[in-house]
Structure 1
Amino acid sequence: MTSGAVSLLAREAVLAAFLVFCRVGGALMLMPGIGGRHIPMRVRVFLALALSFAFLPLVLDQVAPKVRTAGSGDFVFMIAGELLTGLLIGLLARLYVTALQFATSFIAQAVGVSPMPGASVEEDEQLPILATLIVFSATALIFVADLHLELVKGLVDSFARVPPGSLLAVRPALVDLVDQMSAVFLVAVRLCGPFILYSVMVNFAVGLINKFTPQIPVYFVATPFVTAGGLLLLYVSVEPLLSAFLVAFSQWLKAG
């Protein structure tokens, strides 16, 4: 093999590896547990590089022909397509954590501990400390249950479903995004359903008592009891809540 052929193969391998890195890096930017602000940027870059080199032998036969026939302008479009595909995969996974944050923020408000601020696990915005605790527990359980390996497997399978180097089809991507948002909204409602019922019943009872005894500040008197009842309900339901979240997340991963 001549030196020119060797350099051509080396060029194809480098460009193919860069395209794989674009999709993997775009997905890791938004994936739950990995794309959070608590993971240093350098660690995420090295993790994306490691996964890209691990994926390259598996997808080289699919990526190399596209790189071989692509010009400079075509390669720019291929980079954009790989980045958008990776970002879409990461966003679809992150929506579940966003739904859990929404549900746990409502739970903290229903229990009466929402004024206690805490740092968010995944983002820069502040969350109630109760929501931070539950979201952190759910994120840890994702890794304990090896669901992060399913995410990695889904990334590998995405190269077969979405051909490397092709621009992301906007309409199917928007349909997938809307369907995912509908699914995670139902998951969020299901997770905080007991607390919705608790909040309605407690506020109705407090309002009714206040109507009969307007001379007594019933709301301020009842606040500690409302919080105690909400914490007791949380103690009973936190394990089924986390289990339901993991089941919904794992079902989405298996369904692809």
Structure 2
Amino acid sequence: MISDPQGTVMALFLAFCRIGACLMVMPGFSSARLPMQIRLLLALAISLALLPLLWDTIYPLAKTDTVTYLKFIVFESLVGGMFGLIAHLYVLGMQFAATAIGTAIAFNGPPVQDVLEDTSENQLSSMLSYGALLLLFILDFHHVILRAIVESYSSIPLGGVISMQRMLISLTDTLVASMNIALRVASPFILYGFMFNVAVGFINKLAPQIPVYFISTPYALGGGLLLLYFGIAALVNQFVSGFFRVFANV
């Protein structure tokens, strides 16, 4: 039997603030395809599972006055949202790279409904983003994030002073890492598109009577898809390995 029901509920809600805020913006769990009720119950279940590990850290500070408790709620929500936003920003780098790849290889078909969100997206971008996220789930990236949240109670303790500078540095470092991975992933296709267009420009100068730009698109698309076929394994491997390096430095 629980000796202090009120203190237990207050401690559980503080754990829920950090974990629920993370799940609210974490890639995959924040998808528009996932119903809000499932997201809420999942965050509550994870909070219940992790509360025994965090009991000695949260419970002594949970029983406090109302004003301090409200400050704790805001503090925990900001910290949890930062961890989820780090993962979300990194996954957005793959979407940016996929869009650049589609533009470089002339894959400019009409946008379709995105698999994860209620937005329109290019088919290639949707396929690569969804595939990379699926591979991250297979490799248990959510376990890495949850472990980082549990370990964050030692580096960012409950009731401590929130450092906005540290949070901004973490987010900017994530953006830098995401952009570096995106450029590394998309660079072969950008180079291919540049070389192909230069070659087409030379051909057009040599034979101006032929509408080269109208007949070159299928060749650009075919060569780009062939390059994607042979390089997609290395592409996804670079992206996934970079994710775990980012969270190793958080």
Name the TM-score, length of structure 1 as normaliser: 0.92
Structure 2 Cα separation of the partners of residues 111 and 103 of structure 1: 12
Displacement, 1:167?
5.4
- Decide whether the 8 Å contact of 2:200 with 2:213 is kept in 1: yes
Structure 2 Cα separation of the partners of residues 157 and 212 of structure 1: 64
- Decide whether the 8 Å contact of 2:177 with 2:246 is kept in 1: no
Partner of residue 105 from structure 2, selected from 97, 108, 111: 111
Q: How many residues align?
A: 250
Partner of residue 10 from structure 2, selected from 1, 7, 15: 15
- The equivalent residue for 1:47 is 42
Structure 2 Cα separation of the partners of residues 124 and 167 of structure 1: 38
Alignment-mate amino acid for residue 181 of structure 2 = V
Partner of residue 32 from structure 2, selected from 33, 37, 40: 37
Structure 1 Cα separation of the partners of residues 74 and 105 of structure 2: 45
- The equivalent residue for 1:28 is 23
1:136-175 matches, within 5 Å, as 136-166=130-160, 168-175=162-169
Displacement, 1:216?
1.8
Displacement, 1:123?
3.2
Alignment-mate amino acid for residue 144 of structure 2 = E
Structure 1 Cα separation of the partners of residues 148 and 23 of structure 2: 12
1:79-115, Cα deviation, whole Å (9 max, x unpaired): 1111111110000011111000000011111122232
- Decide whether the 8 Å contact of 2:83 with 2:145 is kept in 1: no
- The equivalent residue for 1:3 is none
Alignment-mate amino acid for residue 173 of structure 1 = M
Displacement, 1:211?
2.2
- Decide whether the 8 Å contact of 2:89 with 2:175 is kept in 1: yes
Displacement, 1:8?
7.9
Structure 2 Cα separation of the partners of residues 242 and 38 of structure 1: 23
Secondary structure at the residue paired with 2:216?
helix
Alignment-mate amino acid for residue 226 of structure 1 = A
Partner of residue 188 from structure 2, selected from 176, 191, 194: 194
CA distance 1:182–1:146, shift in 2 (3 Å): same
Displacement, 1:118?
2.6
1:66-215 matches, within 5 Å, as 66-68=61-63, 70-166=64-160, 168-215=162-209
Question: What is the percent sequence identity of the aligned residues?
Answer: 38
* Structure 2 gaps, min length 5: none
Range moving further from structure 2, 233-242 or 164-173: 164-173
Structure 2 Cα separation of the partners of residues 181 and 121 of structure 1: 24
Structure 1 Cα separation of the partners of residues 69 and 161 of structure 2: 11
Displacement, 1:44?
0.7
1:155-199, Cα deviation, whole Å (9 max, x unpaired): 211222211244531111111111111111101000101011001
- Decide whether the 8 Å contact of 1:32 with 1:94 is kept in 2: yes
* Structure 1 gaps, min length 5: 1-5
Alignment-mate amino acid for residue 39 of structure 2 = R
CA distance 1:107–1:139, shift in 2 (3 Å): same
CA distance 1:23–1:147, shift in 2 (3 Å): same
